[in-house]
Amino acid sequence: MIESITGGYLNAELAGVILLLIGLYGLIINRDLIKQVISINVLSTGVFLFFTSLGHVSGGNVPLIMNTDMVDPLPATLMLTTLVIDVAETALALALILRMREDEE
Amino acid sequence: MVPLMAVFPLLCAFLVSLSNIFRLSERYIKASFLVGIFSPWSIFILNMSDHPVETVLGGWSRIAGIEVAIGSLNYQLILVELIVFSLVGVYSLSYFEDNKKEGPVRGKQMFTLILLLYGGIMGCFLTRDLLNFLVYSEIASIASIILVACSNEKGAKRASYRYLMLFFLSSFLLIFSIGIIYVKTGSLNFYLISQNLVMSREIKVAITLAFVAFITKAGIFPLHYWLPDAHSKADAPVSALLSGLTVKVPVFGMLLFLVYTDIEFLTLPLMIVAFSSILFSIVMAILQKNVKKILAYSTVSQMGFILLAIATLNAAAAANYAFAHALFKSGLFLGIGVLITRYGTKDIDELSCKNDNLLMLSIIIFTLAIGGVSPLIGAFGKQGILSGLSGFGVYLFYIGSIGTLIYFINLNYSLFNLKSLGKQYRSIEGMITFIVAILTIAFGIYYYPKLKPLDLILIGAAFLAFLILKYLHIFEKKVPRIFSKDVEGLGGEINLYAAIFVFFNISFLIYVLH
């Protein structure tokens, strides 16, 4: 169904780059701090999608020892680590926003 | 055994936070803090005789494992990290003792964060793996962002948020470029990357994006806007660590790219950025009244010098100057920190070090070292950078050196201007600053035992320029404020900075791809 909309031109890498650009755009136009954090999260999702799709092998198997012809598991594993960083930084940004608002009141 | 150098501080950070939770006595907390600070020395000394040391964790091959190494590239950076953290560790024990003003997180909790920063930076300096580098640099940057936010200073949280958003943004661009490098070379290990490297357009784009991310993280003009506030609002020992070591992490990333890949196609734009960073921050430093802001802008300018070494493809000079800068800038922040605590202000006109001879001597030594006066440590690094320059670049370099001396002559002039109170002060913090000053001289004589007569001419020219600027009342001028101080203003700031970041990326990419 998605292919019928995109005409087969959109693959996961390209979708990732588009998300990244949307995130960057959001960061430039939004004045609200929470919206900025959300924009950065959209950007990071784009990067994750891009990176994870790098390991894709069309028709590839699940990466288990007994399988041959499998997809590359490394990008997905690396993105797990980066996701953790993403969560930590988002939490930190939100905490800082709360503190700043408290200080202003 | 080498990776334990990063593991010990991280482990002790965990122990310190556990002892906080179980409310153990302060002695245990301080003991585990000091163990974390000093234990990496043991491994460094054990491996000192037979470096370069290269090991892949778990005994795997390079393809599967993470490689760590101590070699000519990172030896000096690791040494200076050990020295600075040991001295700042002892300094912060008494600093956070004296500053018992209550904030959200103080004292004991700061020790956990300092140890996390230590482990993060050490991991970055040791690794030869791209993603491992990224993860450790994130540990270091998150720790430093929280350290800035913990300061009681007004506006510290705002500075910290700006710091966080810019790091967040550049980190993801870095990950994006790592992805491109992985798909083109099939590896994240720098040695294997260099083996499989073909300088295609994609690789050039990836290296360019990575360099822009590093320039942002290193606080180099025009992507420096997070740095002056973050470094000046933090507590004195934290500022010393941030300005001395945290900004060296992206420098080491650039060095890895310089050694293992080919960055010759970036030479010209990097050189332009380096020179504009040096000259812009000199002007900004001259216009500041806040003493810590002067030092922070000086960091922006000095990072320009390091980038200049990288742009001239001279990895040794960059490492040497990074070593020198880490030493004298952390020393300066520690010394100025003593004065700020003593007088309770950061205004350059109200501070004085006339009542503390040791501190006065230390600050003069540091400022001369930053100016690159021989035989102090700065001269050695600057000589290496100068050897790679030719033509117009040499003149700009000397203008940069004279400019650096001008604002430090202004700093020293203001510090000696007040009348002496008669009583002489002595403190542990002052002594530690003096130790750093002695190291600045000792390493300077060890690496570069020469005296250059040209230095006297540079100092003379700087003094003359200082007198002219003083006569024209340039030092009294102020930089106008663009954004309002509320949350709304901060949002606008981030918008502008993100736009500059994107513009900078695009202009670099257009240059590379045209």
- Report the b/e string of A54-63 with b at 16+ CB within 10 A: bbeeeeeeee
Q: Do B495 and A20 lie within an 8 Å CB cutoff?
A: no
Least confident range from A4-8, B69-73, B320-324, B428-432: namely: A4-8
Sign of the torsion formed by the C-alpha atoms of B332, B335, B337 and B342: negative
> What is the total residue count of chain A?
105
Measure the CA–CA gap between B193 and B210, rounded to whole angstroms. 15
User: Within an 8 Å CB–CB cutoff, is residue B315 touching chain A?
Assistant: no
User: Within an 8 Å CB–CB cutoff, is residue A92 touching chain B?
Assistant: yes
CA-nearest residue to B174 within chain A is A47
Model confidence pLDDT, tens digit, residues A13-40:
888 889 999 999 999 998 889 999 999 9
Retrieve residue B391's tokens. Answer: 């033509």
CA-nearest residue to A45 within chain B is B172
Measure the CA–CA gap between A26 and A14, rounded to whole angstroms. 18
Q: Do A104 and B175 lie within an 8 Å CB cutoff?
A: no
CA-nearest residue to B148 within chain A is A96
Range A2-104 classified under CATH 1.10.10.10: no
Alpha carbon B82 to chain centroid distance? Answer: 14
Kindly tell me the burial class for residue B266, based on how many C-beta atoms sit within 10 Å of its own C-beta (0-12, 13-18, 19 or more).
buried
Block residue for tokens 């010098």: B305
Identify the pLDDT of residue A29: 92
Cβ pair B495, B163 in contact under 8 A: no
Tell me how far CA of residue B30 lies from CA of B7, B165, B477, in angstroms. 18, 33, 45
Q: Do B182 and A75 lie within an 8 Å CB cutoff?
A: yes
Of A24, A78, A92, the CB nearest to B502: A24
- Report the b/e string of A69-100 with b at 16+ CB within 10 A: eebbebbbebbeebeebbeebbebbeebbebb
Torsion of CA B495, B497, B500, B505, to 10 degrees: -100
Q: Do A33 and B490 lie within an 8 Å CB cutoff?
A: yes
What are the residue ranges spanned by the domains of chain A? Answer: 2-104
Measure the CA–CA gap between B192 and B189, rounded to whole angstroms. 5
Q: Do B157 and A100 lie within an 8 Å CB cutoff?
A: yes
Identify the pLDDT of residue A1: 55
Cβ pair B322, B306 in contact under 8 A: yes
Interval B119-145 mean pLDDT: 91
Measure the CA–CA gap between B330 and B186, rounded to whole angstroms. 40
pLDDT confidence bin for B26, thresholds 50/70/90: confident
Model confidence pLDDT, tens digit, residues B163-172:
999 998 999 9
> Of the candidates B305, B127, B300, B313, which has an alpha carbon nearest to the alpha carbon of residue B225?
B300
User: Within an 8 Å CB–CB cutoff, is residue A51 touching chain B?
Assistant: yes
Q: Do B104 and A99 lie within an 8 Å CB cutoff?
A: yes
Identify the pLDDT of residue B207: 93
Of A40, A51, A88, the CB nearest to B175: A51
Chain A residues near residue B492 by CB distance under 8 angstroms: 31
Of B486, B491, B498, the CB nearest to A32: B491
User: Within an 8 Å CB–CB cutoff, is residue A100 touching chain B?
Assistant: yes
Cβ pair B358, B424 in contact under 8 A: no
Residues with Cβ within 8 Å of B172's Cβ and at least 6 positions away in sequence, in order, are A20, A40, A43, A44, A47
Measure the CA–CA gap between B406 and B461, rounded to whole angstroms. 9
Query: B115 or B426: whose pLDDT is higher?
Result: B115
Model confidence pLDDT, tens digit, residues B214-233:
999 999 988 888 898 898 88
Query: B502 or B350: whose pLDDT is higher?
Result: B502
Sign of the torsion formed by the C-alpha atoms of B286, B323, B36 and B8: positive
User: Within an 8 Å CB–CB cutoff, is residue A33 touching chain B?
Assistant: yes
pLDDT confidence bin for B187, thresholds 50/70/90: confident
DSSP annotation of B101 reads -
Alpha carbon B37 to chain centroid distance? Answer: 19
CA-nearest residue to A93 within chain B is B161
Dump strand ranges (E) for B93-165: none
pLDDT confidence bin for B373, thresholds 50/70/90: confident
Instruction: Transcribe B60-71 into DSSP letters.
Output: --TTTS-EEEES
Tell me how far CA of residue B231 lies from CA of B163, B168, B436, in angstroms. 10, 18, 20
Q: Do B494 and A40 lie within an 8 Å CB cutoff?
A: no
Average model confidence (pLDDT) across chain B:
86
pLDDT confidence bin for B104, thresholds 50/70/90: very low
Measure the CA–CA gap between B268 and B273, rounded to whole angstroms. 9
% of chain A with per-residue pLDDT over 90: 30
Q: What share of chain A is helix, strand, coil (3-state, %, to 5)?
A: 70, 0, 25
Q: Do A93 and B491 lie within an 8 Å CB cutoff?
A: no
**Is the bond preceding B449 in cis, omega lying within 30 degrees of 0?**
no
Phi (first) and psi of residue B430, to 5 degrees: -65, -40
Tell me how far CA of residue B333 lies from CA of B7, B55, B233, B245, B365, in angstroms. 28, 36, 12, 12, 13
Q: According to DSSP H, which parts of B220-354 are helical?
A: 227-233, 236-241, 248-260, 267-286, 291-311, 315-343
Helix (H, G, I), strand (E, B) or coil at B55: strand
Q: What share of chain B is helix, strand, coil (3-state, %, to 5)?
A: 75, 5, 25
